[in-house]
Amino acid sequence: MYNVGEGEKEFTKLTPDEYRNFDMWVAKNNQALYDNKIAYETRWAKDQNFYVKLLDESIITIEEILLDKDF
């Protein structure tokens, strides 16, 4: 995990390939995310990695999304 700053929730570090998979999952499941009011925040860092956090992980987590091969 990557802690962005003092007092902020942790972000999950994703490689470009992992982020591509995450982005494809989001595109496929966009309506479900909208219906459940789940948003996410993405930051891109100088180390060429992406840092992502779901603003509500009560229904699904980043780890579960990355394990879902059906996108």
Could you read off the pLDDT of 28-66 as tens digits, one per residue?
Answer: 999 999 999 999 999 998 889 999 999 988 888 999 998
At 15, the amino acid letter reads T
d(CA 48, CA 40): 19
User: Can you give the residue ranges of every domain in the chain?
Assistant: 2-67
CA-CA distance, 45 to 27, in Å (whole number)?
Answer: 22
Q: Is the pLDDT of residue 7 over 70?
A: no
SS3 sequence of 18-32: HHHHHHHHHHHCHHH
Whether this prediction's pTM lies above 0.75 is answered by yes
